[in-house]
A = this chain, B = another copy of it.
Amino acid sequence: MDVKNINALFDQDLSVVNLGLESFAENLRNEDVKAVQVQWKPPAGGNREIALFLDKLEEIRGKIDIDAANKKAAEIINKGKPTLIDISTAGEAIPGYHKKLVLHAGPPVEWERMSGPTRGAVIGGLVYEGLAETYEAAEKLAASGEIEFAPCHHYAAVGPMAGIVTYSMPVWIFENKTYGNKSFATLNEGLGKVLRYGAYGDEVLEKLRWMDSVLAPVLKKALDLHGEIDIKNLIAQLLQMGDEGHNRNRAGTSLFIRELAPYIVLLDEPKEELSRVLKFMHENDHFFLNLSMPAAKCIVDAAAGIEGSSVITAMARNGTDFGIRISALGDRWFIAPATMVDGLYLPGFSADDAAPDIGDSVITETIGIGGFAMAAAPAIVKFVGGSPKDAVATTKRMYEITVTENDIFQIPALDFRGTPTAIDVIKVVETDILPAINTGIAHKEPGIGMVGAGLVKPPEKCFFDGFKAFVEKYSG
C-alpha cells in the first residue's frame, strides 16, 4: 500500500480488526470507528524453549487425559471442607515435631541463604523456645547446624511472612472433613512489631508468651464449648463482605469473634483475661488470616499427587526464593529467586527497606481467594494499591489460568460468579498470565518488622520449570 492508497483508506469509513494492544481499538471506537478487538498473545510470551515443550504437550495429551486429571483436582479443591477442630502446640499437634525443629515459610532454605526477616524470626523463635538465652546466642545456634530447619509445607503447616514455628507455639488444628487430612498454623500476632515480620525484641516475645499462656488456652476452651467451626462457611460469607481472605480480613475476623464470643464469656478464667482476648482479636483485623491459611492448606493438600494433573498445589516464598508444587509432581519444589513487591509503604519506609516476597500466605491464592478474589474486596486497594477497577480486572484475568469456579465461594460484584479455582500451570505458561498475589511487605533487615503491603508478580521461572518437568515426566 503506497501513501496515496493510505490516504484513500482514510477517506472512507473504516472497519478495523485490531490484534494486540486493546487501546488501539478503544481509541478507534472513541472516534466512532468500528473496531473489533482480537485477543492474542504469542503462547508462553514468545519463549521459544517453552514453545517446544508446548508442542510436546500435544503428544502427551494423546496418551494421558490431563483435562480429566485437572478436573479431578479441581473437584477435590471444590469439595474440600476446612474445619477448625482444635488448638494445641506445634510440638503436640504436628506429627514428627521435635524440640529443635524450626519451620519456616516457603520452599527449603538453609540458614546462610535465609532472608533478613526469616533470620530475625528464627532468632526470636529460638529465644522464645528457651533454646538460647540471648539474641546473639540464638544467632550462633541457628548457624551451628544443631537446629533442623524445614518448610512449614513439609509438615502440613503454613505460616504467614517468615512463618517461623517452634515446638511450644500454639497452633490451630484444621481437618478437611471431606478427605480427612489435617493442617496447622500459628495464631496471628497482630500488626506492628511481630515475629512473622522478622521483629524479635522483648515486646515481641512477651506477646508470644501471652499468646501461649492466655490467648490459646482461652480460645481452645471456648472452641471446645462451641464445637468445631466450619471455616468454609465463614470464607463464603467474608467474600460477600468485602474481604478476599488474604490481605483484607476485617469481615472474617469479625465473623470469628461473634462466633466465639458467646462461649468465651462462659469460661471460668479471670474476666480481665477474657476481655483482653476479645480485645486482642478486635484490634487485629488480620486475626483471621491465620485461619484462612490453614483452611486453604487442607483444601489444596487433598488435591496433591494426582497422576496427570498440572494443577498447582502450593505456592510459597521465604524472602529468598519463590517455590511452587504441581499435583502430578508430588513434593518437588520449582524454585526461583523471590521478586519484589509493588506496594504502599507505612510512613517512614520505602521500597529500599523491603525484603523480597515472603510467606506461605499465598496458599490463599492457590485455592482461588486472596488476589484471585480481589473483585470481592474493592476496599483492599487502600491497603495494597491499585484501583477497584484493577481489582475486578485481576479476578477476571485469573479465570484464564484456572480449571474451574468455586461452588461456594462467590463474588457478588461478578453476579455471584464462583472464585477462579485450581491454577493450571499449563494455562499459566500458555497464556503467560501469572497468578495475582497480594501480600504484606517485611523489612529486609532482621528485627524491624512490617513496612507495607502490595501486589507481587511471582517469578515466571517457577512456572516454566514446573511445566517443563511435567512435560518431561510424561514424554517418552
A→B interface (CB under 8 Å)? 13, 32, 34, 237, 240-243, 250-251, 253-255, 257-259, 261-266, 271-272, 274-276, 278-279, 281-282, 378-379, 381, 387-389, 412-416
Contact = CB atoms under 8 A, between A and B. Distances in A.
A86 to B, nearest CB: 21
Contacts of A257: 254, 257-258, 261
Interface majority SS (helix, strand, loop, mixed), chain A: helix
Contact of A282 (B240, B261, B379, B388): B261
* Copies of this chain present: 2
Contacts of A412: 242, 378-379, 381, 388
A276 B265 CA distance: 10
Nearest to A243: B241
A388 B281 CA distance: 32
Contacts of A251: 241-242, 251, 254
Nearest to A276: B262
Contacts of A250: 237, 241
B262 A279 contact: yes
Contact of A258 (B271, B281, B415, B416): B281
Contacts of A271: 265-266
A388 to B, nearest CB: 5
A182 B308 CA distance: 68
Nearest to A264: B265
B241 A265 contact: no
A438 B15 CA distance: 45
Nearest to A253: B258
Given A265-B271, A388-B413, A388-B416, 11 more contacts: A241-B250, A251-B251, A254-B258, A258-B258, A258-B278, A261-B265, A261-B278, A262-B275, A262-B282, A381-B412, A388-B414
Contacts of A263: 275
A265 B265 contact: yes
Nearest to A254: B254
A280 to B, nearest CB: 9
Nearest to A415: B388
A430 B387 CA distance: 34
Top 5 A-B residue pairs of the complex, sorted by shortest distance between their CB atoms: A254-B254, A378-B412, A240-B379, A262-B278, A379-B412
A274 B265 contact: yes
B266 A275 contact: yes
A264 B254 CA distance: 16
Contacts of A274: 265
30 contacts: A13-B13, A240-B242, A241-B241, A241-B242, A241-B243, A241-B251, A241-B254, A242-B412, A251-B254, A253-B258, A254-B254, A254-B255, A254-B258, A257-B257, A258-B261, A258-B278, A258-B281, A258-B282, A259-B282, A261-B264, A261-B265, A261-B278, A262-B276, A265-B265, A265-B278, A266-B272, A378-B412, A378-B413, A379-B412, A413-B413
A414 B387 CA distance: 10
A147 to B, nearest CB: 38
A257 B388 CA distance: 28
Nearest to A242: B241
Most chain B beta-carbon neighbours within 10 Å: one of A255, A257, A387: A257
Contacts of A237: 250
A281 B258 CA distance: 9
Contacts of A279: 262
A275 to B, nearest CB: 5
A315 B146 CA distance: 73
Most chain B beta-carbon neighbours within 10 Å: one of A243, A258, A413: A258
Contacts of A378: 412-413
Nearest to A389: B415
A417 to B, nearest CB: 10
A221 to B, nearest CB: 13
Contacts of A414: 388
